[in-house]
């Protein structure tokens, strides 16, 4: 099976040099390979992102449009695309200076820095959710329903992948719990949907949130769906984020509902993980440890 463009450092370097005549002297190294992107940094301070599949490739076009519309609106730095290539698809933007807020990195922050980080996240999400959703009609609106539908349909098959036989029942239990807490007031907002630590940049000394990356999964939906990744940063960080969010947006987010969505997302990740893979085992362990 042919690998997508940019899947190796050598190929990404070749594409870069073929695209930019002055790129011959720029070194390039991998930053990460997620489930959706191959990401590289160049020696002159740029980030290159290549999509891993056709769905992500299409999403890149939506992301470019979204980033252009959100410029200077969110109180932190977001990628400003300086080059968008359509064949092969990739985008380039200037790296945002700061510390990647991985779980390990955030665990080293003292309580004051964690408070600042959580407050910054809450403020960012509040500003994002304050954008008028009808400006972004090019974004999908069916992420949550598709996730729920797939879990309902495949609960039995997914459950068979758990040696202890508990996951199938947990799926049905969690889906039932979600029906009790889901937002039924029709409030729809612009969601980032991927606020895990690798997409957050903070000040190493102060903990202040300075940048947010990767809007590929952005969609329009229930405000609750942007908080599970914050919850997984730590209960204290979520508490600070929710306090600022309530102050800025004027309404409270249900923590129990966040936990339910967090579990639903882990169950989806388990379903999508390759059979008998290290990823499958890792997600299963996280499901078992989830409150």
Please give the Cα distance from 114 to 147 (Å, whole number): 31
Nearest to 56 by CA among 40, 39, 31: 39
Structural domains of the chain in order of their starting residue, each with its CATH number: 9-94 (3.30.200.20), 99-289 (3.90.1200.10)
Measured N-to-C along each axis, helices 143-159 and 255-272 cross at an angle, to the nearest 10 degrees, of 60
Intervals of the chain under pLDDT 50: none
Beta strand pairing call for 81-86 and 46-51 = unpaired
Q: What is the pTM of this model?
A: 0.92
Please give the Cα distance from 69 to 291 (Å, whole number): 38
pLDDT at 25: 73
pLDDT at 209: 98
pLDDT at 24: 66
Nearest to 251 by CA among 164, 144, 157, 129: 129
pLDDT at 180: 87
pLDDT at 22: 72
Confirm if 224 and 259 have CB atoms less than 8 A apart.
Answer: no
């Amino acid at each position: 099976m042919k690998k997508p463009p940019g899947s190796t450092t050598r190929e990404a370097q070749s594409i870069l040099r073929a695209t930019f005549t002055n790129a011959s002297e720029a070194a390039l190294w991998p930053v990460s390979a997620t489930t959706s992107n191959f990401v590289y940094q160049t020696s002159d301070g740029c980030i290159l992102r290549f999509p891993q599949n056709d769905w992500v490739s299409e999403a890149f076009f939506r992301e470019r449009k979204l980033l252009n519309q959100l410029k200077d609106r969110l109180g932190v730095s977001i990628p400003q695309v300086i080059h968008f290539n359509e064949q092969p698809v990739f985008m380039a933007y200037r790296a945002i200076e700061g510390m990647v807020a991985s779980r390990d990195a955030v665990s080293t922050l003292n309580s004051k820095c964690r408070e600042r980080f959580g407050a910054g996240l809450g403020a960012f999400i509040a500003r994002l959710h304050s954008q008028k959703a009808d400006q972004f009609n090019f974004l999908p609106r069916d992420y949550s329903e598709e996730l729920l539908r797939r879990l309902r349909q495949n609960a039995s098959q997914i459950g068979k992948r758990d040696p202890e036989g508990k996951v199938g029942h947990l799926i049905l239990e969690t889906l039932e719990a979600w029906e009790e807490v889901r937002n039924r007031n029709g409030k729809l907002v612009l969601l980032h949907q991927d606020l895990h630590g690798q997409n957050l940049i903070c000040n190493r000394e102060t903990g202040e949130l300075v940048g947010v990356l990767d809007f590929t999964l952005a969609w329009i939906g229930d405000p609750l769906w942007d908080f599970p990744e914050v919850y997984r940063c730590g209960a204290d960080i979520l508490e600070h984020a929710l306090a600022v969010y309530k102050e800025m947006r004027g309404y409270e987010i249900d923590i129990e509902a966040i936990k339910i969505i967090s579990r639903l997302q882990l169950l989806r990740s388990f379903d999508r993980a390759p059979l008998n893979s290290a990823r499958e085992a890792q997600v299963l362990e996280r499901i078992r440890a989830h409150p």
